[in-house]
Amino acid sequence: MKKILGFVIVLLTLGMMSCTPSPVGTWVEVTGGSEEQGFTLNKDGSASSLNMGYVVFDKWEKSGDLLILKGDYTGLVKREFSDTMKIESISETELTLSQAGYTVNYIKK
């Protein structure tokens, strides 16, 4: 009986871990403006930016509740960057990220 109960607990834990939606997809910022702005996260860890001006994303990773976007700033001073944001919430259609007291809401395209 104890072995069966232990097995059921392991299965429930694994099932709950797989319920967290994946951040893979195209996410656009909820702004009310006419031009969509956001990013695409691909399954292979590559990323791309959408109407982000001088910011060009090329990689992403998830570590716990953190989303890390890496890329290049292509403005006057060109440089690589890594941007770490906390995933406040994620569903199949909505993503909320925060960093340094600033929160941004996204919807999935």
Sequential pLDDT tens for the chain (109 residues): 545 544 445 444 444 445 789 999 999 998 877 789 999 999 999 999 999 999 999 999 999 999 999 999 999 999 999 999 999 999 999 999 999 999 999 999 9
Q: Are 50 and 68 in contact (CB under 8 A)?
A: no
| Tally of structural domains, the chain | 1
pTM passes above 0.85: no
State the residue range of the domain holding 66. Answer: 22-108
Classify residue 14: in a domain, yes or no.
no
CA distance 47 to 44: 9
Classify residue 43: in a domain, yes or no.
yes
What b/e string do you get for 55-88 counting C-beta neighbours within 10 Å, with b at 16 or more?
bebeebebeeeebebbbeeeeeeeeeeeeebebe
Can you give the CATH number for the domain in which 81 is found? 2.40.128.280
